[in-house]
Amino acid sequence: MAKHISDLGVRDWRPERLPDLTGKIHFITGGNSGLGLETAKMLAEKNADIIFAARNPDKAEQAAEIVRPLGTGFVETAELDLASLDSVRACAEDMRTRFPELDSIINNAGIMQTPQSETAEGFELQFGTNHLGHFLLNALMVDMLEARSGRIVVVSSIAHKYGQLNFDDLMHRDGYTPTKAYTQSKLANLVYAFELDRTLAASDSKVTAYACHPGYSNTNLQSTGPRSFWRPLYKILNPLLAQDAAQGAIPTVLAAAGEEAKRGAYYGPQSMSEARGRVSDALVADQALDENAAARLSRESETLTGMRWLQPAPA
């Protein structure tokens, strides 16, 4: 079962409602194409400063060239491979030197339904990239948000409704399927986002956390990861059912910079079982609201990344 967790305070939100964002610095992972690029465009049109963080510096620079003419803010790039914790640490250190204060960290980058493979540290690729890489990145950079009462935005998916956190085998070494691993990673994103905001609030941090999903949007996600019958199936379904990437990016823009956004909320499209359409508060599956599972996920994530953050230090 899925349900709303707020009072539907946001209805049919549109990026035209954004205030002027002059001087606001938004850090976007995987922003060189698709949802990340469209998010950057909307923020830049309101004069925000943008930092694209991507594996391929050349593609990041190409995206930057598209966005620079749209507003008065600067557009910079950073190298980041979320499948390598060393790369995450290097990127965080680079950002600390160049931009010691940020207004948002947008956890946009992700991979989907990949063949069984591992990150540099031996984590299952989808869980390691979609969740653990972002977990460490946010932990290393959260203080950069503190001075500006900034936001952490976690992009989940309607696929979280079909996910389960398999704490006995988070890396799916037994019985791996691309879809099972993907839905687990997207559930982890949402569970983490809620736990993150609870923890930030309890510690009186000025930083707030938000979650969102893009519905079923036509992006490279469906063409670069899936194999087997999924890839040709998406080629058929995307033109028929998917909304464009610009529409899919609207929930992220709301979460990153919308004045109407409420901390701890989850935003997404509302039509066709949340696949597309107007943006409002999204439905959350019961398993994403399990606070015991959230606390355990935090402990596991800290152990795997070597970064104590969300759990209190031992007495």
Q: How far apart are CA 211 and CA 282, in angstroms?
A: 10
Q: Is 115 left (phi over 0), alpha (psi -120 to 50) or beta?
A: beta
First to last CA, the chain: 39
Contact 141, 96 (CB under 8 A): yes
Amino acid in the structure at residue 93: E
Buried b (16+ CB within 10 A) or exposed e, 74-104: ebbbbebbbbbbebbbebbeebeeebeebbb
3-state DSSP helix/strand/coil percent for the chain, to nearest 5? 45, 15, 40
Q: How far apart are CA 128 and CA 114, in angstroms?
A: 12
Known catalytic residues are: 182
